[in-house]
Structure 1
Amino acid sequence: MNANATILTELLLKERPSLLRLIRRIVGTTSDAEDVTQTLWLRIQTVTDTPPINDKQAYLYRLARNVALDRLRAGERREALFASGPISEEIAAPVPSAERHLIDQESLGIVLAAIAGLSPRCREVFILRKIENLRVVDIAERLGISPSMVTRHLQNALTHCMARLADTETGADAS
């Protein structure tokens, strides 16, 4: 620790009760004043020896005031952000309709059936990648196949699943 930081730390310990009173007047509560004092100590640790500080006590009090005002302003910004009223319907995530829920359930069933219809190796590769979230190289190593073969299995699986979904949308499976 450099000389300025050391002296300012010692001064902070000596002047702590007075600094707490000053900070509490600015931020309003004792717990916030304690938090600001901790932040002040952290800020002091970053003070360098250049340029030299002539009046270290004045510097410490000015720094304490600045840190307290920064804390107060941050609280005001936070309050302004969250005090704008109730959350707009445009911001809140919409709840899917019952119809959307049924369509999604049906699509999930189609995809699960399509996965079940894959060859065992293709299905295993698909599950390792899409469900277990393994990397292609990890799947290749685990199954003893090349990464390009893993990629080919994934392409086949995705093409198969997308074709089953498309068949359902066009009504091809209803005939």
Structure 2
Amino acid sequence: MPTNAIALTRLLLTERPSLLRLAQRIVGLPAAEDVTQSLWLRVQRVEDDPPILNKRAYLYRLAGNLATDYARGTRRHDQLFEAADPPTDAPSNEPSAESRVIDRERLARLEAVLEELPLRCRQVFVLRRIDGLPAHEVAARLGITVNAVAKHVRIAVRHCHARMTDEPDA
């Protein structure tokens, strides 16, 4: 490793807090760490020719330049991607009309299947799986045990699975 790089690395380690504050004034806190890391990488590539007479000034100038370049790059990136109109041919996150119709039909079928369950079993299933209540709360609300809640949910899930995998009514 060249002697300039060794001396600058040692200086960087002692001056790191001050260099970090310098970068932070230019680019902000999160990016200042990135700039300081880039500074370390840049210092490792410094050659001995020409010799650097004032290593501290060189290091601070390099840190300021890297921070300024980083800020310019960030602004340029933001301008490029903010100004662009969203592509018109980009796929939508919305489900297709066909998917919505199929989902509505499946939901209606599930509601019909749930109506086939005994009242208590249906109540437990809805409270536990649809409303998302904890088992102990369902048990307290309906005056049954936690084991009974688990049993009703198991029965409801098996019933729904069996009926939903059958051929739909024609």
TM-score of the pair, normalised by structure 1? 0.50
For 1:52-63, what aligned pairs fall within 5 Å after superposition?
A: none
Which sections of structure 2, spanning at least 5 residues, go unmatched? Answer: 1-15, 29-66
Partner of 2:56: none
Aligned 1:141-160 pairs, distance under 5 A? 141-160=140-159
Which amino acid counterpart does residue 83 of structure 1 have in structure 2? F
User: How many equivalent pairs are there?
Assistant: 112
Q: Which residue of 2 aligns with 1:89?
A: 90
Q: In 1, Cα distance between the equivalents of 2:95 and 2:26?
A: 45
Whether the 8 Å contact between 1:140 and 1:147 is mirrored in structure 2 is yes
**Structure 1 residues 123 and 63: CA distance shift in structure 2, 3 A:** same
SS in 2 for 1:160: helix
Per the alignment, do residues 69 and 100 of structure 1 end up closer, same or farther by CA in structure 2, a change over 3 Å counting?
Answer: same
In 2, Cα distance between the equivalents of 1:89 and 1:137? 47
User: Aligned-pair distance for 1:127?
Assistant: 1.4
In structure 2, how many angstroms separate the alpha carbons of the residues matched to 1:142 and 1:68? 58
User: Conserved in 2, the CA contact under 8 Å of 1:125 and 1:153?
Assistant: yes
Which one of 52, 57, 66 corresponds to residue 23 of structure 2? 66
Instruction: Report percent identity of matched pairs.
Output: 34
Q: How does 1:23-42 map to 2 (within 5 A)?
A: none
Unaligned runs of 5+ in 1: 1-58
CA RMSD in angstroms comes to: 3.5
**CA spacing shift, 1:103–1:67, aligned 2, 3 Å:** same
User: Residues 161 and 78 (structure 1 numbering): CA distance in 2 closer, same or farther, change over 3 Å?
Assistant: farther
Counterpart contact for 1:136–1:150, Cα < 8 Å: yes
**Equivalents in 2 of 1:108, 1:75: separation in Å?**
53
Does structure 2 retain, via aligned residues, the 8 Å contact 1:125–1:154?
yes
- 1:84-123 mapped onto 2 (5 Å cutoff): 86=86, 89=90, 93=93, 95-123=94-122
